Amino acid sequence: MSKPRIHVSKCLGFGICRWDGKEILNGFIEKLKTEIEFISVCPELAIGLGVPRDPVRLVYKGDKLYFLQTNTKKDLTMAMKNFADKIVGSLARIDGFILKDHSPSCGISNVGVYPSLTSKEPVSMTNGFFASQILKRFPETPAITEKMLSDDKKREDFLDKIFKSTNIWK
Ligand code: SF4
């Protein structure tokens, strides 16, 4: 029987790839490693950023959203869009997403959007840039962050959906 195939942010126990070089281990994801086929991806590494690296942020200019590196001021918007397209094209079957909370690339719903590279306060909150591209293309596929996995109800709902979709739940 096939295991659920889950796309996971690589920094959640699959490699050291965060901007600050820190590793994040999540006990629950570690337990799932025998039950799930994880496909780990770090979009920031994939577009050529190193470890450690200057952080990135989402910035509104006019009515357009940009994905910019704060210190170098590099515009990584097209690079990240192109990488997201490539990933979407490669996901023939995917049963769910576990993404890194709060990340400007991978976060779900609570990522700050800033009016400039230097402003301290966000003007709104949204999905991370990479997450928004892939979740748009897979609107019915369950998605959760590692932080939401510590909420009993959200975790159970997520597991129920991904294991049901592969018919091996309970
Ligand atoms: S949050 Fe996403 S982009 Fe950032 S290190 Fe983790 S996998 Fe890479």
Q: State the pTM of this model.
A: 0.94
DSSP H stretches of helix in 22-123: 27-32, 43-46, 77-90
DSSP H stretches of helix in 12-128: 27-32, 43-46, 77-90
Q: From the CB of residue 116, how many other CB atoms can be counted at a distance below 10 Å?
A: 12
What's the pLDDT score for residue 92? 82
What's the pLDDT score for residue 44? 98
What's the pLDDT score for residue 169? 43
**Cα(17)–Cα(42) distance, integer angstroms:** 7
Nearest CA to ligand 1 atom 6: 11
What's the pLDDT score for residue 37? 96
What's the pLDDT score for residue 167? 54
26 ligand 1 Cβ < 6 A: no
User: Given ligand 1 and candidates 14, 16, 41, 106, which is best to mutate, with the most ligand atoms within 8 Å of its CB?
Assistant: 106
As averages over each run of 10 residues, the pLDDT of the chain (170 residues) reads 93 96 94 96 97 96 95 97 95 94 97 96 97 95 97 97 70
